[in-house]
């Protein structure tokens, strides 16, 4: 009977031409055992959270957030960050296909996923803003 060492596990795709950046992708270093670090992440919402603690949002503003469908984003504003999870996801992200490559197959994030996670309504007409650029001279 053949031992486990006789088997070679290849995590790459069945069609190698799909991943054109594989030679320089972080996953190659990980597979070869040369990378073992957690990525550093940054947040920009700390001051907002401190401000809301000091000056709570007025109930009328909260009501407008609920009516607009944006209350879910406000409610989830200070989630804890799992840097190891983010690092693992970054390692598995493929820029060309815009998907995560896992051992079980490919996965991506859809607009419906964002709707469920943040409670945002995604149905209806798009909300568009003014795209014109104005200067002080105008």
Task: Give pTM, 2 decimals.
Answer: 0.48
Q: Does 45 map to a domain?
A: yes
Range of the domain at 92: 38-121
Q: Does 114 map to a domain?
A: yes
Mean pLDDT of 39-48: 71
Q: How many domains does the chain have?
A: 1
How far apart CA 138 and CA 134 sit, in angstroms, is 6
Question: What are 15-24's contacts with CB under 8 Å, separation 24+?
Answer: 18/96, 18/97, 19/94, 19/96, 19/97, 20/96, 21/95, 21/96
Q: What is the pLDDT of residues 49-102, one digit of tens each?
A: 788 888 888 999 999 988 888 887 787 766 777 888 888 888 888 888 889 988
Q: Does 93 map to a domain?
A: yes
């Amino acid at each position: 009977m053949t031992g486990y060492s006789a088997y070679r596990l290849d995590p790459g795709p069945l069609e190698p031409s799909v991943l054109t950046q594989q030679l320089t992708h972080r996953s190659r270093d990980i597979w070869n055992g040369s990378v073992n670090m957690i990525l550093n992440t940054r947040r920009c919402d700390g001051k907002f959270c401190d401000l809301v603690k000091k000056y709570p949002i007025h109930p009328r503003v909260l009501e407008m957030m609920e009516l607009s469908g944006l209350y879910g984003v406000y409610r989830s504003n200070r989630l804890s960050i799992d840097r190891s999870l983010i690092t693992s996801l970054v390692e598995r992200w493929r820029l060309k296909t815009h998907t995560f490559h896992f051992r079980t197959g490919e996965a991506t994030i859809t607009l419906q996923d964002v709707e469920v996670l943040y409670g945002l309504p995604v149905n209806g007409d798009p909300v568009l803003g003014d795209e014109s650029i104005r200067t002080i001279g105008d």
